[in-house]
């Protein structure tokens, strides 16, 4: 596990170690244990290492094949021992015990197809000296990040984090992409391949990049098994397949040469992971939970219940957020606007967990595999509207518009009106977007400044097209699996995986996700959607059936509870002055995104209790904090490296 960066010039320049070090120092939090550099004429590779596997000989950049191949690698290959044994059996020489060398040896044997053999999370770059080719790959589900900039002169810059690109080439333009900001305000994240900057791109999950002779080519190498037949139509067999594959996935992710534990929220997913870990470990599993003073946002009671059942070595943290210190730090680490408020508790639990272990397993992916989000129920229920006669549908829409906009407490009727509008939209992508968006298209007039609307031009409202493309890619699948596919291609990698990677690596902690093992994901996807969302109430039915003997009945019967924080109350209390002092400042208004009247209207509605705009206010605050802190040479209140 580490952070990586590098450059290959398309002109006569040679890569300089001091330039690489300047960029590499910016990601020291990703790898505090070691650093390494390689230069070869126009090519330079650098890495920061968090030592997890092969502590003694795992230094990078690593070479192979008489130093013809060089690699920098961020991630873990969980099946590397099996692959290593196969390579040795075929007579290949290996000088380390690391998974990094296995990638190089596979590349020597298979070329770019080596990624098909890798089971894990990864972003790596291989320099092939003989072919003068740079090969970059990102894991299937997007757990490890990779950003790049292809320059007009044929040069290529790449890194784990955006700020490294500007350190590698200070002349790289920093112009903000208006389309990215508009997408962010709709989705809470900026989706691949765009970034907040016009000059930089993200390599999408499941894709490779090849640079050769000044040309950059990006190709997809993996997708969910759309159109494949069900793996089985027998429920009992399905339960056994899920049980066996997830147990294998957990076992692989318990391989570590450093202390290891698990996040335990008290939900079904993390509880199953901890239960399986306990069955595979001779010692009590170290588990970690976090809570806030506000009882309705705390799951610690359920986490303690599971910890007691399996006699884990359990640590519970109750935190009182230090907003003025932590929020600028988060904005700096994310490197572009990011508005999922659960980043805050994820950062806190990562920070505290790192005091005890270096690796933590989690339950991420259960909802996307098995239909756990409440919006899946809503979308399934809303399908009834599709079968209504036209006049009835028109009458319902008209009735919805007659509902009042305001009421106390906190806009309950307004939220119901918003949901009904979503349900009555005619097209599936629009309905889905309305369910998840922060700022819908009909929220933006009056909020957006005229100059921002002009800058957006025809790209205003591209979020719906983004969702439409995802739905189109899985036509023919059953309704529930279509919903899951869309989340696997949008929300999961672009929001959830980004959050977990940044929050954990900011604390030099490695997070591992057994439920996102690609073999497990493919297996689960090839089961009927009706087994995942059974009727309109039984969410994650097949998953719960497969593991119900491992969980206390209270956890098994729990409803979905997100990793939330009390934003609405905070913006009327401890964050009230902080928000107004940032978002309503002359500096913020001068950026030209919003009208003062539009922002003040949102703020006044929230303060009066007519509506709860907590998540919108959070998105606006994080946008402003990004502008103020993202370009800094070191994290706020941190030591410049």
The pLDDT tens digits for 505-519 are 999 999 999 999 999
| 16-39 b/e (C-beta count within 10 Å ≥ 16 → b) | eeebbbbbbbbbebbbebebbbbb
Reported as a pLDDT band with limits 50, 70 and 90, residue 625 is: very high
* pLDDT reported for residue 270: 96
* pLDDT reported for residue 258: 84
The tokens describing 120, both together, are 């894990």
Task: Report how far residue 284's alpha carbon sits from residue 152's, in angstroms, rounded to the nearest whole number.
Answer: 56
* pLDDT reported for residue 404: 62
Task: Report how far residue 600's alpha carbon sits from residue 611's, in angstroms, rounded to the nearest whole number.
Answer: 13
Find the catalytic residue in 2, 437, 474, 495.
Answer: 2
Ranges of H-type helices in 402-440: 412-423, 428-436
Reported as a pLDDT band with limits 50, 70 and 90, residue 407 is: very low
Residue 104 burial (10 A CB sphere; 0-12, 13-18, 19+): buried
Neighbours of 441 (CB within 10 A): 16
Residue entry with tokens 């819908």? 440
* Secondary structure E strands in 304-396: 313-318, 359-361
Ranges of H-type helices in 13-79: 17-25
* pLDDT reported for residue 504: 96
The tokens describing 376, both together, are 């899946």
Task: Report how far residue 519's alpha carbon sits from residue 547's, in angstroms, rounded to the nearest whole number.
Answer: 18
Reported as a pLDDT band with limits 50, 70 and 90, residue 369 is: very high
Give the helix/strand (H/E) hosting 6.
strand 2-8
Whether the CA torsion 474, 223, 522, 486 is positive or negative: it is negative
Choose between 296 and 91: higher pLDDT. 91
Q: Mind listing the domains of the chain with CATH numbers?
A: 2-175+194-220 (3.60.20.10), 235-371+512-556 (3.40.50.620), 567-629 (no CATH)
pLDDT above 70 covers what percent of the chain? 92
The tokens describing 603, both together, are 């703020």
**Mean pLDDT of the region 348-353:** 93
The tokens describing 59, both together, are 């230094």
* pLDDT reported for residue 636: 79
Sheet containing 147-150, strands listed edge to edge, beginning at the edge strand earlier in sequence: 34-40, 43-49, 2-8, 156-159, 147-150, 201-202
Minimum mean pLDDT range among 144-158, 228-242, 368-382, 385-399: 385-399
Minimum mean pLDDT range among 194-203, 273-282, 427-436, 582-591: 427-436
Whether 216 shows a pLDDT value over 70: the answer reads yes
Ranges of H-type helices in 94-234: 99-110, 162-168, 178-187
Tell me, what DSSP letter sits at residue 441? Answer: G
Residue entry with tokens 């990011």? 338
Reported as a pLDDT band with limits 50, 70 and 90, residue 632 is: confident
Residue from 248, 242, 122, 140 nearest 518 by CA: 140
Strands 43-49 and 359-361: unpaired
SS3 content of the chain, % helix, strand, coil (to 5): 50, 15, 35
* pLDDT reported for residue 298: 62
Whether 409 shows a pLDDT value over 60: the answer reads no
Residues 6+ positions from 373 with CB-CB distance below 8 Å: 367, 487, 560
* pLDDT reported for residue 537: 66
Task: Report how far residue 29's alpha carbon sits from residue 504's, in angstroms, rounded to the nearest whole number.
Answer: 10
Whether 67 shows a pLDDT value over 70: the answer reads yes
Quick check: is 2 catalytic? yes
| 536-552 b/e (C-beta count within 10 Å ≥ 16 → b) | eebbbbbbbbbbeebbe
Cis peptide before 503 (omega within 30 of 0): no
């Amino acid at each position: 596990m580490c952070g990586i960066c590098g450059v290959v010039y398309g002109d006569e320049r040679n890569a300089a170690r001091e330039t690489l070090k300047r960029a590499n120092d910016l990601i020291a939090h990703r790898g505090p244990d070691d650093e390494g550099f390689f230069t070869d004429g126009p090519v330079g590779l650098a890495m920061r290492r968090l030592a997890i596997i092969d502590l003694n000989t795992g230094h990078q950049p690593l070479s192979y094949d008489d130093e013809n191949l060089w690699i920098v690698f961020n991630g873990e290959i969980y099946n590397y021992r099996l692959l290593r044994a196969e390579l040795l059996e075929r007579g290949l020489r290996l000088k380390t015990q690391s998974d990094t060398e296995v990638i190089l040896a596979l590349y020597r044997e298979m070329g770019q197809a080596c990624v098909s053999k890798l089971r894990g999370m990864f972003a790596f770059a291989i320099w092939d000296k003989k072919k003068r080719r740079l090969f970059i790959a990102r894991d299937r589900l997007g757990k490890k990040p990779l950003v790049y900039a292809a320059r007009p002169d044929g040069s290529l810059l790449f890194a784990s984090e955006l700020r490294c690109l500007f350190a590698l080439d200070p002349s790289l333009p920093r112009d903000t992409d208006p389309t990215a900001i508009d997408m962010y305000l709709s989705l809470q994240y900026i989706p691949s391949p765009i970034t907040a900057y016009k000059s930089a791109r993200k390599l999408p999950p499941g894709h490779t990049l090849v640079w050769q002779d000044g040309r950059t080519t990006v190709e997809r190498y993996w997708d969910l098994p759309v159109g494949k037949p069900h793996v089985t139509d027998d429920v009992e067999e399905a339960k056994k397949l899920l049980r066996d594959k997830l147990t294998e996935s957990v076992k692989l992710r318990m391989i570590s040469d450093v202390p290891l534990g698990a996040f335990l929220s008290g939900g079904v997913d993390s509880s199953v992971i901890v239960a399986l870990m306990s069955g595979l470990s001779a010692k009590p599993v170290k588990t970690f939970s976090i809570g806030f003073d506000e009882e309705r946002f705390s799951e610690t009671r359920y986490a303690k219940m599971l910890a007691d059942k399996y006699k884990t070595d359990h640590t519970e943290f109750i935190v009182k957020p230090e907003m003025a210190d932590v929020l600028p730090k988060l904005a700096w680490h994310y490197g572009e606007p990011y508005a999922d408020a659960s980043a805050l508790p994820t950062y806190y639990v990562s920070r505290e967990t790192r005091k005890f272990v270096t690796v933590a397993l989690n339950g991420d992916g259960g909802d996307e595999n098995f239909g756990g989000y409440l919006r899946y129920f809503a979308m399934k229920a809303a399908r009834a509207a599709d079968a209504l006669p036209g006049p009835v549908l028109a009458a319902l829409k008209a009735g919805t518009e007659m509902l009042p906009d305001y009421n106390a407490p906190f806009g309950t009727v307004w939220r119901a009106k918003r949901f009904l509008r979503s349900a009555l939209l005619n097209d599936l992508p629009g309905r889905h977007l309305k369910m998840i968006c922060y700022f819908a298209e009909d929220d933006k007039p009056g909020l957006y400044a005229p100059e921002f609307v002009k800058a957006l031009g025809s790209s205003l409202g591209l979020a719906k097209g983004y969702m439409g493309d995802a739905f189109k890619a899985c036509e023919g699948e059953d309704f529930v699996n279509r919903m899951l596919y869309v989340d696997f291609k949008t929300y999961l990698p672009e929001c959830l995986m980004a959050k977990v990677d940044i929050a954990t690596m900011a604390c030099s902690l490695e997070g591992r996700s057994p439920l996102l093992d690609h073999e497990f994901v493919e297996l689960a996807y090839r089961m009927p959607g009706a087994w995942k969302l059974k009727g309109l109430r039984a969410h994650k039915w097949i998953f719960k059936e497969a593991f119900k003997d491992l969980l206390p009945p209270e956890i098994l019967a729990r409803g979905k509870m997100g990793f939330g924080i009390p934003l609405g109350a905070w913006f009327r209390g401890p964050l009230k002055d902080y928000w107004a002092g940032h978002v309503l400042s002359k500096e913020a208004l001068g950026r030209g995104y919003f009208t003062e009247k539009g922002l003040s209207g949102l703020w006044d509605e929230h303060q009066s209790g007519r509506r709860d705009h907590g998540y919108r206010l959070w998105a606006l605050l994080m946008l402003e904090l990004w502008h103020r802190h993202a370009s800094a040479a070191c994290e706020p209140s941190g030591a410049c490296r």
